[in-house]
């Protein structure tokens, strides 16, 4: 009879101004007991808003609350999908130009189904409950703070527009 060592679960949340490394995030959740690592990579896209082109996003966060909300999210994921081994989320802060990764989520699980569902839940809840804000910066040097539609405290009111220099 084989004896399997029980691996301690890892929940890793990192806010950083550095470019995100997909390999670092995958390595964080890798586990010999898991046959699947499910990943979501969110990038900054070039939208056109009112005739202006988005050239990048500026992210800010309330870091202590973000960590606390991430811990709650991990507990929720583990309650819904008990087989989940490890959860890792890295999110950029500061300037993120079009084409660069804004967020990477990786979740390991013995089988792909639970991990894929957990990743979908994770990005939805991250946008809804974790206090990270983004400001779209346009080719006109104007900028506009954006609310996530999923955001639990969102007022869906008019967005504040300001002039900035990048």
Q: Which helix (H) or strand (E) holds 43?
A: strand 36-43
Tokens 């990270």 -> residue: 132
For 84, the token pair is 């989940």
Query: Was 2 annotated as part of a binding site?
Result: no
Q: What are phi and psi of 154, to 5 degrees?
A: -65, 135
- To the question of whether residue 53 is assigned a binding role by annotation, the answer is no
Q: Is 72 annotated as a binding residue?
A: no
- The count of other CB atoms within 10 Å of the CB of residue 68 is 14
Residues 6+ apart with CB under 8 A from 71: 11, 13
**Is residue 111 a known part of a binding site?**
yes
Any binding-site annotation on 14? no
| Residue 136 known to bind ligand | yes
Q: How far apart are the first and last CA of the chain?
A: 62
Helix (H) or strand (E) holding 101: strand 101-109
Q: What is the DSSP string of 130-158?
A: S-EEEEEEETTSEEEEE--TT-TT----P
Residues that constitute the known binding site for substrate:
111-112, 127, 134-136
Binding residues: 111-112, 127, 134-136
């Amino acid at each position: 009879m084989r004896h399997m060592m029980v691996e301690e679960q890892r929940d890793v949340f990192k806010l950083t101004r550095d470019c995100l490394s997909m390999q670092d995030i995958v390595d964080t959740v890798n586990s010999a007991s898991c046959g699947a690592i499910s990943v979501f990579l969110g990038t900054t896209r070039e939208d056109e808003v009112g005739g202006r082109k988005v050239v990048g996003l500026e992210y800010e966060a309330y870091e202590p609350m973000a960590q606390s909300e991430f811990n709650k999210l991990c507990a929720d994921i583990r309650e819904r999908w008990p087989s989940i081994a490890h959860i890792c989320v890295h999110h950029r802060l500061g300037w993120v130009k079009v084409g660069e990764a804004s967020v990477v989520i990786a979740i390991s699980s013995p089988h792909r189904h639970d991990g894929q569902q957990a990743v979908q839940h994770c990005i939805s809840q991250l946008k809804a409950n974790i206090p990270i804000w983004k400001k779209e910066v346009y080719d006109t040097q104007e900028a506009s703070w954006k609310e996530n539609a999923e955001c639990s405290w969102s007022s869906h009111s008019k967005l504040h527009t300001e002039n900035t220099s990048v």
